[in-house]
Structure 1
């Protein structure tokens, strides 16, 4: 089964503020909210308005245990977007193009490229990706179309106890990438003092931090896709999964 098909996310109307807090720190990931799988935008414990940012979601895709596509979309549910699918999904993924942002000397960020903000001290194009494993995979997690940066477990073994090691590999443009930052707990420790860096083969080993939701985040700064508008492109790719707790 080819994994080249992407199901476009349902888009809603809305606009972003012209100036905002620093953007590169934020990412997207999936997490349970009231027994529903929700798309989260934020950093650490700060869940920001993901519904307002739905127009920036370029694709959301669902897969069964054999990595065959399952029709999947996002639906507004109050203040959060939740995953709807025609049948149960073993994994879900999303792509967000957060666009061009320029920082002026006064510290403000503007939703424009350097060509429109010539005094900018920094201009970047932000991309954000998310992959969530709803169950322990029975086959190697594949690379998904449209995910310029993706963090993938090496093999199919996902540790089931906090503190156990997990080996992951970062792929950039479909190839293993060295020097990618890998944060082991983006939700509970967003200021991790010494995050891992991927080796020459793109791998890094980190400890699973939580007996619950785990959100690993890969971060890579690459060349600009338009030098007139941005100094570089920044990519953030989450890999999330949940470890089971003891029976109640």
Structure 2
């Protein structure tokens, strides 16, 4: 095998590994638990132990329907992290720093950089972002503080029924980003085919659920510390609920 072939093969393998890692990354999102709003961590139907990750949450914020800040906080219980919604925020947002992870050739993930795992096939710094729309907005969803990667519905009004189209724009550091990978149903179909945002950062999805919808966008940026990681993975979720018919 000549040098060019080796280079192409290695590059393709690295890209494949990064894509695979991104597909199966964990995220954070908001959902109702026992009539209370909770901040969850996991993938698909597996929401994992968020309590032990409480210290990783770097911010929690609430906003009214115009984007004005509303006081809110997190409440740590023995099994859930709940959101204080006493002030009735229309929007809730959180950021979690999941640290540095490296994947060994055997497929095991270690919470270390590649400087400590020299044979790692990929090493990542991971940030998780989450935004919840709790009701209909009076204006398009604004950029929110701390949301380095954020999914914005282009229209102020959310779809009313599953199956309807919804145009989204993915923003990275306040600007539209091309090539972000979008999963339209993070909870029920996390292994579905990924859509990619166009040059203006937009993508159109079909709303999947007449109930809780969690859409995820994933974008990789250059490493903050090339000695420790190959990339920074940003994973953002947008949650909203389509109401069911009256009982």
* TM above 0.5: yes
What is the CA–CA distance in structure 1 between the aligned matches of 2:85 and 2:159, rounded to whole Å? Answer: 27
The CA deviation at 1:113 is: 1.1
Partners of 1:102 and 1:244 in 2: how far apart?
Answer: 41
State the distance in 2 between where 1:201 and 1:107 align: 36
Question: Is the partner of 1:53 in helix, strand or coil?
Answer: helix
What is the correspondence of 1:138-217 to structure 2 with a 5 Å cutoff?
138-192=138-192, 194-217=193-216
Contact 2:23-2:191 within 8 A present in 1 as well: no
Q: Which residue of the partner structure matches residue 132 of structure 1?
A: 132
Structure 1 unmatched ranges of 5 or more: 1-20
Does the 8 A contact of 2:22 with 2:218 survive in 1? no
Which structure shows the bigger proportion of residues in helix conformation? 2
Q: TM-score, with normalisation over the residues of structure 2?
A: 0.88
State the Cα distance separating 1:115 from its structure 2 match: 1.7
Aligned equivalents of 1:247, 1:85: Cα separation in 2? 24
Distance (whole Å) between structure 2 residues aligned to residue 80 and residue 23 of structure 1: 25
Shift of 1:230: 0.4
Shift in Å, 1:195: 2.4
**In 2, Cα distance between equivalents of 1:128 and 1:96:** 5
Cα drift, residue 71 of structure 1: 1.2
Shift of the alpha carbon at 1:86? 4.5
Distance 1:115 1:195 in 2: 31
Superposition RMSD in Å: 1.6
Shift of 1:176: 0.2
| Aligned residue pairs, count | 227
Aligned twin of 1:229: 228
Distance 1:23 1:160, change over 3 A: closer
* 8 Å Cα contact 2:101/2:124 also seen in 1: yes
Q: 1:140 to 1:63 in 2, by over 3 A?
A: same
CA distance in 2, matches of 1:65, 1:22: 32
**Which residue in the other structure is 1:87 paired with?**
87
- Per the alignment, residue 60 of structure 2 pairs with 60
User: Does the aligned pair in 1 maintain the 2:29–2:130 contact within 8 Å?
Assistant: yes
**Normalising to structure 1: TM-score of the pair?**
0.88
1:133-164 Cα offsets, whole Å, 9 max, x none, are 00011112111222111101002020010000
Deviation at 1:23, TM superposition (A): 9.7
Question: Hey, what's the Cα distance between the residues in 2 that align with 1:23 and 1:111?
Answer: 18
Residues in 1 aligned to 2:198 and 2:240: alpha-carbon distance in whole angstroms: 23
Return closer, same or farther for 1:218/1:99 CA change in 2, 3 Å cut-off: same
State the partner residue of 1:5.
none
Indicate the SS of the match to 1:170.
Answer: strand
